[in-house]
Amino acid sequence: TEPEPFGMVALEAMAARKPVVASSFGGVVEIIVDGVTGCLFEPGNVLALAKKLEMLITSDRRRIEMGEAGYARLQEVFSINNYVVSIENTYHESHVGT
């Protein structure tokens, strides 16, 4: 499939406390921390995909840990509040000395 520039589906999964499994292509590589918030695999590498899925299917603990880590990352990095603060800071910095 075509890469998603930002990876909204990944953020939706993180909001639902689910680990994300995605190919390491496009915007998702900036969102997912491989082995922490989800699993990334090389595009077209079906064996790697199968191994990642098997690990998640067979380990409730890892699934839950990754889901919780993804939710925490969503809140820390991608929350609306963080975006507002970032935009405000950029605005204020652009007007310093003008």
The amino acid occupying position 97 is G
φ, ψ dihedrals at 36, nearest 5°: -115, -55
Q: Read off the pLDDT of residues 34-65 as tens digits, 9 standing for 90 and up.
A: 999 999 999 999 999 999 999 999 999 999 99
Instruction: Report, at the CATH architecture level, how domain 8-94 is classified.
Output: 3-Layer(aba) Sandwich (3.40)
Mean pLDDT for the chain overall = 92
**CA end-to-end distance (rounded Å), the chain:** 47
Q: Whole-prediction pTM value? A: 0.81
Indicate the DSSP class of residue 90. H
Instruction: Please check the confidence at residue 97 and state whether its pLDDT lies above 70.
Output: no
